[in-house]
């Protein structure tokens, strides 16, 4: 994250606010204003950016596809970007879409009105026009190091999905390619065309 400040300062729609603290409490983080910006804490710095329609539409598509399947098969919980995952005192990340298995849900849910303590089983990040790919990639690395077993990095401009696991990655680029849940969400499958449907 070092050295990113000037680049963010030049952007009108995305900012990185230095906010180094030894520890942020949940109460402090929950006091952030609800003003249309997505805020995350990365190594003590507050990163915030708005999202546009394309980004929101892709997230909704995935939320509906995953949510329906997960609910029908009683596999766990699918969450939107409002949910925060605590990776430590200086890091709070909110993936655009996430999945937490039934087995892990009670373990990482500290309390209903608090953030999760730990990482999701699946973390999905959708690149916005204001995002630096390197920053989004860094967030996925943090998830995987923290215990996430599957991550999807979605690039709306290229209409691709990079599938990452602790053992490697692959990129799906054709609209007929199949995106699956692997052993994290067994049996889940959809075409890329469903993810990017307008």
pLDDT digits (tens, 9 = 90+) for 93-123: 999 999 999 999 989 998 877 889 999 999 9
Q: How many residues does the chain have?
A: 198
* pLDDT of 6 over the 60 cut: no
Q: Domain locations in the chain?
A: 5-195
CA angle 165, 24, 6 (to 5 degrees): 75
pLDDT tens column, 178-198 = 999 999 999 999 999 999 998
Percentage of the residues of the chain whose pLDDT score is greater than 90: 58
pTM, full prediction: 0.82
pLDDT tens column, 53-82 = 899 999 999 999 999 999 999 999 999 988
Q: What is the CATH number of domain 5-195?
A: 3.90.1570.10
Burial of 74 (0-12, 13-18, 19+ CB in 10 A): exposed
């Amino acid at each position: 994250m070092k050295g990113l400040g000037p680049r963010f300062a030049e952007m009108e729609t995305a900012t990185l606010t230095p906010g180094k603290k030894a520890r942020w409490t949940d109460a402090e983080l929950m006091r952030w204003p609800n003003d249309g910006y997505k805020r995350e804490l990365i190594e003590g710095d507050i990163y915030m950016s708005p999202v546009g329609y394309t980004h929101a539409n892709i997230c909704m598509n995935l939320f509906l596809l995953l949510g329906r399947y997960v609910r029908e098969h009683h596999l766990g919980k699918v969450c939107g970007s409002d949910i925060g995952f605590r990776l430590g005192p200086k890091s709070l990340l909110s993936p655009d879409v996430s999945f937490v298995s039934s087995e892990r849900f009670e373990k990482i849910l500290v309390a209903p009105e608090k953030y999760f303590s730990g990482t999701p089983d699946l973390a999905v990040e959708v690149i916005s026009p204001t995002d630096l790919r390197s920053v989004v990639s860094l967030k996925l690395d943090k998830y995987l190091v923290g215990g996430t077993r599957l991550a999807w990095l979605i690039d709306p401009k290229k209409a691709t999905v990079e599938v990452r696991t602790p053992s490697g990655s692959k990129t799906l680029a054709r609209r007929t390619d199949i995106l699956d849940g692997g052993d994290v969400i067994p049996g889940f499958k959809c075409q890329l065309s469903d993810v990017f449907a307008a």
